[in-house]
């Protein structure tokens, strides 16, 4: 890796403990960062976590215009910034390395932009460690080409938490449906992926009880999407359907 500045190795061997440490250190310095990605699913699903490969990366979400402050925190607690990348993209995305552990840490700044753009910094205060469950679920539901790890993350979360209209240990269907009602493309991808959650991937099979729970909760999310009022712009875009591409190819970092 080129263009880096070195920092002293002070990180923890457990990736989940390390992600929590980073959030705590940021909070102690007055900065708000929250965990996203598979580490967040690991933390929230707990014992209901389905088998998955070892985690290698930490993903974080930070508010817009916080990139300089977040960089200062991370470099002070053991991370090495990719200077050239961060200089070009730091207003929306930052890359760091834990050199001692050979782990990557990525920070999304302001919005979570992959296949679709999600305003994840709007509700960072809901949970003290991760983005809210609804937003966490959306980070996977917005992926056009799901892999087994993505399905496993979502199955684990749906087994662990009910779907309802609040953020109190629930996946907030109101929040998901409101964001999808603003954007036909997001709505379309989420709808396709909710259907995909009805099948088990080759590497694992849900028990009958888990399958029943997942199907019931997916059905609630689907009803919420259908019932949410849609804007005129949403309806106009819906007429074009898949004739015009409705998503962005994620940029390889």
User: Dihedral, CA atoms, 85, 57, 147, 109, nearest 10 degrees?
Assistant: -50
Q: What is the predicted pLDDT for the residue at 9?
A: 53
Residue 106 in tokens: 């990525």
Tell me the pLDDT tens digit for each residue of 88-138.
999 999 999 999 999 999 999 999 999 999 999 999 999 999 999 999 999
The answer to whether domain 1-121 has CATH 3.40.50.720 is no
Delimit the domains of the chain by residue range: 1-121, 132-247
Tell me the pLDDT tens digit for each residue of 138-156.
999 999 999 999 999 999 9
CB 37 within 8 A of CB 139: yes
CB 33 within 8 A of CB 23: yes
């Amino acid at each position: 890796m080129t263009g880096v500045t070195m920092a002293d190795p002070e990180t923890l061997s457990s990736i989940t403990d390390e992600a929590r440490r980073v959030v705590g250190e940021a909070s102690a310095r007055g900065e708000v960062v929250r965990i996203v990605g598979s580490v967040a699913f690991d933390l929230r699903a707990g014992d209901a976590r389905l088998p998955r490969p070892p985690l290698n990366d930490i993903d974080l979400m930070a508010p817009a215009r916080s990139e300089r402050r977040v960089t200062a925190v991370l470099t002070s607690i053991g991370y090495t910034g990719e200077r050239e990348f961060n200089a070009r993209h730091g207003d929306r995305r930052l890359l760091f390395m834990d050199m001692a552990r050979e782990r990557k840490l990525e920070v999304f700044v302001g919005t979570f932009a992959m296949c679709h753009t999600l305003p994840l910094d709007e509700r960072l205060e809901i949970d003290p460690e991760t983005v809210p469950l609804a937003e966490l679920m959306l980070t996977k539901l917005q992926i056009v080409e799901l892999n087994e790890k993505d399905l496993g993350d979502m199955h684990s979360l749906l087994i662990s938490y009910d779907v309802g209209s609040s953020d109190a240990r629930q996946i907030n269907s109101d929040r998901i449906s409101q964001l999808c009602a603003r954007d036909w493309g997001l709505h379309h991808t989420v709808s396709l992926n909710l259907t995909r959650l009805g099948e088990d991937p080759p590497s694992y099979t849900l028990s009958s009880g888990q399958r029943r729970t997942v199907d019931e909760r997916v059905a609630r999310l689907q009803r919420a999407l259908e019932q949410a009022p849609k804007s005129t712009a949403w309806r106009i875009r819906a007429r074009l359907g898949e004739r015009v591409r409705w998503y962005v190819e994620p940029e390889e970092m």
